[in-house]
Amino acid sequence: MLLFPNAKINLGLNVVRRRSDGYHDIETLFFPVPDLCDVLEIVHSDAFEMHLYNARIEGENLCEKAWRLLHDRFGIPPVAIHLYKKIPMGAGLGGGSADAAFTLTGLNALFGLNLPQDDLVGLAASLGSDCAFFVYNRPMLARGRGEILTPIDFSLAGHRLQIYPQDVFVSTREAYAGVTPHEPLHSIEFIVKRPVSEWKGLLVNDFEESVFARHPSLAAARQRLYDEGALYAAMTGSGSALFAIY
C-alpha cells in the first residue's frame, strides 16, 4: 500500500488561554497542502519494521505509535513501514501528524477493520493534537488543543499558495514560551471570509512576534515575500516555514 501524507498550513493562529493541564487552547484554520507530501509504504511483514529515509527521528515515531495503537486494540499483525520524508521537519507543516493519520487510515483499509471516520478521528487525536485533522484532510477550523474540528466552506481558488521552508529550527516549547494568551478581537472564521488582500494585519499568527524577535531572518524573509507581490504572507504553526498567497 502506497500513500502520500500531505502537509498543512495554519491560516491564522490565536493562542487563547493556558489550560490547567499545561496545554493551550488555540484557534486556527488548518488548510491542506496536497502538492507537498511524504511517501508512505505499508507492506505485510513477519515482524514490525520501521524504515525512515531522508530524516532522522530519535525513538519511536508517530507511524510506529499508530501501528502499535491498532495492534494493541484490534490485534492487527506486523507490518513493515517505509517512510520517505519530503515535508520539512520542525517547520509547522504537520508532516509527522500527517504520517500518523495516514498510517491509521492505511492500516484500517489494509486489514479491513472498517472503522468509521469518527473512530479514526478519535484514535488520531490520541496520537497528537494535529493528527485528527489529517483524517478529514479538508479545511477545518480547529479549537481546543487543535483536536476540536469544525468543517468550513473555504477555498483558495483563484490564488496560488507557495511554501517557503526556512533554515531555522523553532521548538514548539520555545514558541509557546514567548506568547501571552489572549482573546482575539475577530475570529479567524470572520477574517477569512474577507478578500485575501485584506488579511494583512487582521489574520495573525500569535507566535510570530516572539519567534521573529529571536530569529530576525524570518521577519526579513516574510517582508521579502510582500515586497515580491504576495497578497498575504505568514509563518505556519510555531514555525519556521513561511507561506505566501498570490
Query: DSSP string of 101-166?
Result: HHHHHHHHHHTT----HHHHHHHHHHH-TTHHHHHH-S-EEEETTTTEEEE-----TTS-EEEE--
Residue 204 confidence (pLDDT) above 70: yes
Task: Say how far apart CA 64 and CA 81 lie, in whole Å.
Answer: 8
85, 130, 200, 227: the active-site residue = 130
Q: Where are the domains of the chain?
A: 2-151, 161-245
CB burial class (10 A; 0-12, 13-18, 19+) of residue 202?
middle
Task: Give the pLDDT confidence of 25-74 residue by residue, as tens digits.
Answer: 899 999 999 999 999 999 999 999 999 999 887 667 899 999 999 999 99
Mean pLDDT of 158-166: 96
Short-list 191, 196, 188, 190, CA closest to 245: 196
Judged by DSSP in three states, 215 sits in coil
Q: Output the pTM of the full model.
A: 0.93
Task: Give the pLDDT confidence of 1-23 residue by residue, as tens digits.
Answer: 999 999 999 999 999 988 878 77
Q: Can 130 be counted among the known catalytic residues? A: yes
CA distances from 205 to 65, 92, 240 (A): 30, 12, 12
Give the rounded percent of residues in the chain with a pLDDT score beyond 90: 81
CATH code 1.10.3720.10 for 161-245: no
Helix (H) / strand (E) containing 221: helix 216-227
pLDDT at 174: 80
pLDDT at 34: 95
8, 38, 99, 206: the active-site residue = 8
Lay out the sheet containing 2-3: strands in order across: 2-3, 39-44, 79-84, 49-53
* Domains 2-151 and 161-245 alike in fold: no
pLDDT at 59: 65
Q: Which CATH number fits domain 2-151: 1.10.10.10, 3.90.110.10, 3.10.310.30, 3.30.230.10?
A: 3.30.230.10
End-to-end CA distance of the chain: 36
Q: What pairing do the DSSP bridges indicate for beta strands 79-84 and 49-53?
A: parallel
Cell numbers found for residue 85 = 520524508
